[in-house]
Amino acid sequence: MRVGFIGLGGIGKPMARCIARAGFDITVNDLRDEPLKNLERHGARVARSAREVASVSDVVLASLPSNEASEEVALGVDGVLAGASNGDIYIELSTISPDVVRRISREAAKGGVEVLDAPVSGGLAQRREGRLSVMVGGDEATLARARPVLEAIGERIFHVGGIGTGATVKLVNNLLNAIGAVATMEALALGVKAGLSVESMKEVISESSGASRAFDGTVASIGRSSEPPPGGTANMGLRTIGKDIRLAVELAGDLGVPLSVGSSALQLYLAGFGHGWADKESWVIMELVERLSGVRVRPRIDV
């Protein structure tokens, strides 16, 4: 099976490397030279456009940062659908609007191309080791054909429904995670200002009804630097998390679902953008919560 991969950013690059490591014949494309050279060293071929990737691939995956990028890569003059053939599969890994996924699927169907939306969840280690969770929307038979490729990047593959449902469940998941992170930060600020230590709160809450993955992850993160690694991108970047919450809030607006807590969380992330923190790790929001609360929660070593 010939595989194409488009978008070699902080999430896409390690996934593409996992696919190459699994022994697939892989062709890649990105706007930047560095990740292309890196994948070439791992046995990948380099294509000049998304159209060229599709023309030499049976299955094409894309990991992109926005609705606009996904539409351009799939539907543009030099996009995937311009080079794909009847029977090919296009897999949208990006966290984007379900409506965009469904539009791409409708256009793809005109040429006999099948589409899956399959956003992923997991940290840097899971990306590198091919142990992500993959949330798939689309035809079950199409998933069966694409499963060998998806198994190269994910150890848990969930088929959640028809086209667009993968994108939807990813937005719901990320909304919950973001709300949990903000709630944890505010609760920690309250506790510290009232005289508690972060360590004592962690010890008690981790074994009590307030426990959650969001709590554990936030407490573990806020003591680390919010700066991205030298020459790299943030693992859990504020720009990416903020975009995901905004998409979830927009979806709720389209469906008439009130998101009073989610909308409030979004305002903090937008305030982080206003402070010029978009490229930092998402836990930089703790600094904003500290300023609003008049208390220091993070260790002094993280300035």
Q: Which of 13, 110, 170, 193 is catalytic?
A: 170
Which candidate, 249, 254, 256, places its Cα nearest to that of 99? 254
Known catalytic residue: 13?
no
Residues carrying an active site annotation: 170
